Amino acid sequence: MSKPSLARGTRDFGPEQMAKRNFIFDTIRRYFQRYGFLPLETPAFENLSVLMGKYGEEGDQLLFKILNSGDFSSKLEEKDWNEGYKPLTSKISEKGLRYDLTVPFARHVVMNRGTLAMPFKRYQIQPVWRADRPQKGRYREFYQCDADVVGTDSLLCEAEIVLLLHDILPELGITDFTVKINNRKVLTGIADLIGAQGMEGPLCVAIDKLDKIGKQKVEEELTDRGFSENSITLLAPVFDLSAAKDPFLALKNWLGSSETGMQGVAELEEVWNLVDKLGLKNPKIELDVTLARGLSYYTGAIFEVKANGVQIGSISGGGRYDNLTGTFGVPGISGVGISLGVDRIYDVLEELNLFPQNQTTSTKVMLSNFDRQAFEYGLSVLPKLRLAGINAELYPDSVKLKKQLDYADRKNIPYVVLIGSDEMGSGLLTLKNMKTGDQEKLSVDDIIARIA
Amino acid sequence: MSKPSLARGTRDFGPEQMAKRNFIFDTIRRYFQRYGFLPLETPAFENLSVLMGKYGEEGDQLLFKILNSGDFSSKLEEKDWNEGYKPLTSKISEKGLRYDLTVPFARHVVMNRGTLAMPFKRYQIQPVWRADRPQKGRYREFYQCDADVVGTDSLLCEAEIVLLLHDILPELGITDFTVKINNRKVLTGIADLIGAQGMEGPLCVAIDKLDKIGKQKVEEELTDRGFSENSITLLAPVFDLSAAKDPFLALKNWLGSSETGMQGVAELEEVWNLVDKLGLKNPKIELDVTLARGLSYYTGAIFEVKANGVQIGSISGGGRYDNLTGTFGVPGISGVGISLGVDRIYDVLEELNLFPQNQTTSTKVMLSNFDRQAFEYGLSVLPKLRLAGINAELYPDSVKLKKQLDYADRKNIPYVVLIGSDEMGSGLLTLKNMKTGDQEKLSVDDIIARIA
């Protein structure tokens, strides 16, 4: 008989973790809805034709693939076995587990575009699965919380994402955070300007290290990454941007000759302007022209959120993509979205001790069970407590009180009602506060009034 | 470019369905917690060693198996290819998708038995996956809602399941239902008594048809199923049970010589007794000695719930099992549980038109967007609505009003605020009730007071 174990990179969530995670999910969901996003859920697995080729070569590898049911090998010939596992996979597997929430969303939009009210604002809170090597903070099953708007290119959507983050994060207790914002068009403009078209990626990776390694080392790295001396010279203004009094003005002075770059700056300025018009006081937003994520799909705004004061990566990211559904044959649907990383947010709240107390959904009161008579008395009390909306239980067995109290303790039940012969005689039951140890005699109605 | 499609037997859930499903989930969850059950979530996939052999030969076939990551075929030899797909599967797949919530629960109990507060009351609401042939009402991905208590054999748990169902179902709107109850020991007693040990399954299948095909045909079927003439003669009292004034007394008179059978009757009587002591008025419970489900694992109570007046199978089932964790090397942990079928409950609520109105989590009010000036005015109003807890959005583009109202209509948004030059001048905005068409001019504060 083998000891059972969890599959590598997966977790059980017990009551305490569930309560904490639900605090996060419920908060996020409430604000998603406050902003007009509607819920969507898609299946755990999709046809591989939907998933493959959407996440690059590495993503294809990291997709969990489901073996075809029944005799998957019956139609295979000897040559199929010898072709290598990649072509073989396509012959014995047709389905894969959801890798993110964006591609299933795009699939849903394409399949339902005749009936969806556009612009379509949806949120989706579901697990995704990746066959990554598990390590601290990286799991093979984890939740994503996404909100996206598709079918409009209004920059109001970008501004609303900023406001949404400023509602959700403080409500979770995270008050010290930074929303970094960039625009893909600015990156394209810079690359064009320095004669390094299409090299936005390596450019940003290097510049991003400025604070850590200094200007000289960044320039060395750029040389190593194949940037010409001339490109690096032309890049000089980027190092002064963060110190500029008006970074937008500095950017405009620098990128004036790049139409794309100037459009990016204009979009960024409009987001700042709309955030201001929406009345957000002291927005925690920061222009970061080195912010580069999702370069293969983001075409406008790029977002990333860091919780300050903790050594935990970004807790949220997103951006605008102009061709979400193009891969499914429906081009021209622009959208913008944000994704919140629940596991990282959980770690931040744990590290900063920000989870509210008493978040468990546990029983509020337990009735003790001394003997058959007290048990039957308890049976008559129990439904009254529940009818009053109180989570209540009666210990099912007549065992030693210590064992019953120990149970209540381990389950974090704050109150225990002791029912003995005195109590049954007088109708005044002993309410024990498990935290303070205080006991007092109260009628059932008074107990309800006290703890409801 | 191929048109994308859903994997066979799976579904997307859009906003309207999500709202309805969440009404069901939230109701069930609330009462699970009211009764002291705590939440647990387990991973979507488990090691196949945990899942295989737990659901019978057919279950093993219906498990979705995940292909090992990377070059799964590298260590295979030619003979492996020729052995047939079953042994081959075990060489290229180590994980499978959750088939039910019970086996992962048992795995969790075994792995955590040192730290769990026993008796352990957990609920679990998660999807499961089965490679069944999809058909109407049967999906390859569907949710189960389970509540189980393990670590006690107190019949209070059985009685509480009855009460739980009487709380949940009426709260969902289902008032006409029947909780059928049987006890495995009664079935064993009957089989023993008529000299047909171990044949409880075919026995019940045949007797269950009494109402439909009559006594004579049932006896013919029993003969076909291999029951002796003597067995069938001894079985006679079973046909009169449902008409008996006191079915428990009739059962006791009949099963007196079977110790196991008598214990089953005593357990059933105690459940009835406890339900009464718990104060449940007019319990919708019915003794059904032909109720036979889960015969391979249930050892005590057996439950099944039917919604009356609809042609939909059972909406809930459960029972007591004495050896949940024995398969993982930890015998002797008794438990009892109930599982609610969300898809069937959904169908019942649809068919009987029982879903509450206005269950959508949609936006409550949309601000129109005539032009840039009105848009900017809307920007200043929007945060006030949201701060008051109202789900609100501002139409992102300045397009024709008809298009904006059409959007609000399709999204079931009940109120639209029209902002034109009059409104901006006076500060009194036009609140349009989308259902009645009524319009009135109100200040932002009055709008909040009206619709919050």
Q: Does the structure show a pLDDT above 80 at A358?
A: no
Q: Are A126 and B370 in contact (CB under 8 A)?
A: no
The stretch B41-50 carries a mean pLDDT of: 97
Q: Is the dihedral of CA B244, B247, B252, B258 positive or negative?
A: positive
Helix B259-277 crosses helix B184-193 at what angle (to 10 degrees)?
A: 150
Domain boundaries in chain A? 361-451
**Bridge partners (DSSP) listed for residue B365:** B392, B415
A119–B396: do the CB atoms touch at under 8 Å?
yes
Binding residues of B for L-histidine: 100-102, 130, 144, 148, 293, 297-298
The stretch B198-221 carries a mean pLDDT of: 88
- More reliable by pLDDT, B137 or B104: B104
What is the model's pLDDT at position A270?
97
**Bridge partners (DSSP) listed for residue B430:** B418, B441
Q: Does the structure show a pLDDT above 70 at B361?
A: no
Q: What is the pLDDT of residues A168-196, one digit of tens each?
A: 999 999 999 999 999 999 999 999 999 99
- Which of the four pLDDT bands, split at 50, 70 and 90, describes residue A361? low
Q: Does the structure show a pLDDT above 70 at A289?
A: yes
Estimate to the nearest angstrom the gap between the alpha carbon of A450 and the chain centroid: 38
Q: Flag whether residue B133 sits within 8 Å of chain A, measured between CB atoms.
A: no
What is the model's pLDDT at position B83?
82
Q: Are A101 and A84 in contact (CB under 8 A)?
A: no
pLDDT > 70 fraction of chain A, expressed in percent and rounded:
99
B10–A43: do the CB atoms touch at under 8 Å?
yes
What three-state secondary structure class fits B207?
Answer: helix
How far does B7 lie from chain A, in Å, by closest CA? 5
Q: Flag whether residue B127 sits within 8 Å of chain A, measured between CB atoms.
A: yes
Average pLDDT, chain B: 93
Residues of chain A with C-beta less than 8 angstroms from the C-beta of B93:
67
Q: Which two tokens stand for residue B415?
A: 């109120």
What is the model's pLDDT at position B205?
85
What is the model's pLDDT at position B27?
96
The stretch A116-142 carries a mean pLDDT of: 94
B411–A117: do the CB atoms touch at under 8 Å?
yes
Q: Which of B42, B71, B274 sits opposite A379 (nearest CB)?
A: B274
What is the model's pLDDT at position B1?
54
What is the model's pLDDT at position B303?
97
Nearest to A59 by CA among A72, A68, A67, A50: A50
The stretch B87-114 carries a mean pLDDT of: 94
Q: What is the pLDDT of residues A311-340, one digit of tens each?
A: 988 999 999 998 889 889 899 899 999 999
Strand order in the sheet with A141-150: A38-39, A120-129, A141-150, A335-341, A316-321, A298-307, A177-183, A285-287
What is the model's pLDDT at position A2?
66
What is the model's pLDDT at position A383?
95
Binding residues of B: 100-102, 130, 144, 148, 293, 297-298
Q: Does the structure show a pLDDT above 80 at B32?
A: yes
Q: Which of A71, A274, A393 sits opposite B35 (nearest CB)?
A: A393
A376–B277: do the CB atoms touch at under 8 Å?
yes
Measured between alpha carbons, how far is B5 from A274 in angstroms, rounded to an integer? Answer: 38
What is the model's pLDDT at position B292?
86
CATH topology of domain A361-451: Rossmann fold (3.40.50)
Q: Which of A33, A38, A141 sits opposite B43 (nearest CB)?
A: A141
pLDDT > 90 fraction of chain B, expressed in percent and rounded:
79
What is the model's pLDDT at position B360?
65
Residue whose pair of structure tokens reads 């002796």 in the numeric block: B228
What three-state secondary structure class fits A400?
Answer: coil
A36–B70: do the CB atoms touch at under 8 Å?
no
Residues of chain B with C-beta less than 8 angstroms from the C-beta of A91:
none
Q: How many CB pairs under 8 A join A and B?
A: 296
The stretch B233-246 carries a mean pLDDT of: 88
What is the model's pLDDT at position A364?
95
Q: Does the structure show a pLDDT above 90 at A77?
A: no
B149–A396: do the CB atoms touch at under 8 Å?
yes
Q: Are A396 and A411 in contact (CB under 8 A)?
A: no
The stretch A134-151 carries a mean pLDDT of: 94
Residues of chain A with C-beta less than 8 angstroms from the C-beta of B78:
81
Q: Does the structure show a pLDDT above 70 at B348?
A: yes
Measured between alpha carbons, how far is A252 from A262 in angstroms, rounded to an integer? Answer: 6
Measured between alpha carbons, how far is A175 from A172 in angstroms, rounded to an integer? Answer: 8
Q: What is the pLDDT of residues A269-283, one digit of tens each?
A: 999 999 999 999 999
Which DSSP symbol is given to A223? H
What is the model's pLDDT at position B156?
97
How far does A197 lie from chain B, in Å, by closest CA? 29
Q: What is the pLDDT of residues A366-384, one digit of tens each?
A: 999 999 999 999 999 999 9
What is the model's pLDDT at position A362?
81
CA atoms within 13 A on the CB side of A200: 23
